[in-house]
Amino acid sequence: MYQIIPTDLLVWRYGGAHSLTNPLVLPQAARLTLMKNVYLATGLFCATLLSLPAYSQQQTRIINGKPASTATYPWMASIFILGGKDSDNGGGCGGSLIAPNWVLTAAHCFLNEAGDAIADDPASLTTVTLNTDNIVDLASGAIERSASRVLIHPSYQPDPETSANSNDYDIALVELSSAVSVAPIRLYNGALPAHLPTLVAGWGATVGDGTQASDALLQTQLLSTTTEICAAAHEGLITSNMFCAGSYTESDTSDTCQGDSGGPLFVNLEQGAMQIGITSFGGSETANCGTPGSPGVYASIAELYSFISDNASGITTVNSLSDIRALRNAFDGATDIVTIPKVYVDSQNYSVTLKHTGDLNFFLATAEENATDDPDAIPSFFDGANNKLILPQVKVGLETFNVTLRHLGDFKFTVETANPI
């Protein structure tokens, strides 16, 4: 297992001259003549997680999942379809409770074994389970319901031999046999921007080849991509009813996989979670789940909302992203400090502050291991193989940058790139 050097040992081990309790403070006036993007970066970062072993790219969860709980996400549903195409993976599919008697999921969860048509009478084959983290060893308060109806989007055409796009309109509704007393998730029906921090959860495969489903609920963090990146990764498959979300960096393998289908892609608001997408498909002929540069594809709630509202009642919608609860990396120009709430070093994560010392350089001020994983904190990554610290979404005033720092040794980093979002 890789280890990060505790803060109080850094000077002793590496012989650095800087005091971690007395960081240097240099004026910014001399830097005001730099071009805007570089200047904003200077106020940014240069940190130190030092000579750590190379970052491991082998992950063992959702892909790269962390434990989640239905106490936090009470609307999270496991859907088992008897004889379904993905029934060997955990619960078969994920879903989200959007009203007391309605669960939202993906249409492809109900395909026949051949995978070219919806199974006959899918409601008779479907069981929905709520209120349990583990879907093999059910919690004492687990709620199980059969399905009275399964409604598939009328434009969903799964047969690749006859369909112009067998992945399009990948949305379905399950009407429960009776209502449940569980708080549903809100749905987002507004415009969806790129570079949006999101979450996914599910019981699906935990390795990239689509095997080893998880009995326990897992979650991971993803970043929505631009339409251009999405289309390039899935050439000819992307329509206006879809969008992509993928890993934060070239070393981040976070992704959904087989068995996570139908589950929610969501963001946390101050008043609770809000779903923006439905896990649909991913990978490629040459890429497994969890391959950086091959983002997963999600059915858009906003684009397909009319299907939901025409068939289900009791839904709560939101059309604003203004109060997303996300702890971003941030630069405080008054103190010359960059605060990074979560830096991953292998499987561990740390809260870190960096002190800017002028000339685009920084050094480590503090580094403390986080006791828990906060899904609201924007993840950053130390790439030991390439000696880089990668900081997505650094807030500098009203602007946001994706930043890469190169480690120089002796607790110092220098800004390598700072690209505005």
For the ranges 21-35, 211-225, 298-312, 375-389, which has the lowest average pLDDT?
21-35
Q: How far apart are CA 278 and CA 263, in angstroms?
A: 6
What residue ranges do the domains of the chain occupy? 7-56+327-420, 66-314
In sequence order, the 6+-apart residues with CB closer than 8 A to the CB of 333 are 28, 43, 396, 397
Given the residues 18, 78, 108, 255, select the one marked as catalytic: 108
Is 18 in the active site?
no
The closest of 344, 349, 354, 384 to 368, measured between CA atoms, is: 349
- At 17 the three-state DSSP class reads coil
Is 407 in the active site?
no
Structure tokens at 181: 């007393």
The CATH architecture one would assign to domain 66-314 is Beta Barrel (2.40)
Residue 302 backbone zone (phi > 0: left; psi -120 to 50: alpha; other: beta)? alpha
For residue 157, is pLDDT > 90?
A: yes
Q: How far is CA 385 from the centre of its chain?
A: 23
Q: Which amino acid is at 83?
A: G
Calculate the dihedral angle through the C-alpha atoms of 180, 181, 182, 188, rounding to the nearest 10 degrees: 80
Given the residues 214, 224, 261, 300, select the one marked as catalytic: 261
| Predicted pLDDT of residue 213 | 79
* CA distances in angstroms from 187 to 172, 191, 345, 387, listed in the order given: 15, 12, 34, 41
pLDDT tens for each residue of 209-220: 667 778 899 999
Is 260 in the active site?
no
Given the residues 86, 168, 170, 260, select the one marked as catalytic: 170
Quick one: pLDDT band at residue 287, thresholds 50, 70, 90?
confident
- Which residue shows structure tokens 């050439």? 235
pLDDT tens for each residue of 200-252: 999 987 776 667 778 899 999 999 999 999 999 999 999 999 999 999 988 88
pLDDT tens for each residue of 243-285: 999 999 888 888 888 889 999 999 999 989 999 999 999 876 6
pTM for the complete prediction? Answer: 0.85
- Our CA angle for 181, 183, 189, nearest 5°, is 135
